[in-house]
Amino acid sequence: MSESEVNTDRMVVKDASMSHSEGGWPKDVDFTEQSDVVRFRKKAEKDEAFQFAIKSLVPIVERCMKQNNTVDAYEHYFSKFETEKFTDHVSAKGVAVFRDPSSIKRTATSINWHPEATSSKVAVSYSILNFQDERLADSSLSSSVS
């Protein structure tokens, strides 16, 4: 028997905004001149203090990016759009049935087709999904290909 718990980091969500305009350049750099900007950036990127600052900011930026990727599961993101009503009758039909060749009944866990379109080869993997199932003691660990 196995039991485990997982605690995720608590995310505090708040709305924030930012207004950015061009600025922060030294007086001798004209930000409208591309050559001045490139020259200043090359000089700044070679500075050891700049490199240290970038390396120390990486974890903070990464954490902020992960927070931006959080999604409110209960928000209706597309509520302003109308749902389309399908007039076509939707149906499905079974094309193939895969039966487990073993006498011990197992679940098909993966189905893979051969990449060539002309080939009709299919590989199916079967497993007993319950950990420490009684049926596992009776089965052999060998496998066969047909």
Structural domain spans, the chain:
27-79, 97-130
Q: Of all residues in the chain, what percent carry a pLDDT higher than 90?
A: 6
- Per DSSP, the three-state class of 79 is coil
> Could you tell me how many helices (H) and strands (E) the chain has, helices first?
3, 2
Return the higher-pLDDT residue of 103 and 45: 45
Residue 136 has pLDDT above 60, yes or no: yes
Q: Which amino acid is at 76?
A: H
Residue 13 has what DSSP assignment? -
Q: Is 128 in contact with 135 (CB distance < 8 Å)?
A: yes
Going by C-alpha positions, the residue among 47, 50, 66, 93 that lies closest to residue 9 is: 66
Alpha helices in the chain (DSSP H): 34-46, 48-68, 134-138
When pLDDT is averaged across residues 44-66 and rounded to a whole number, the result is 88
CB 111 within 8 A of CB 122: yes
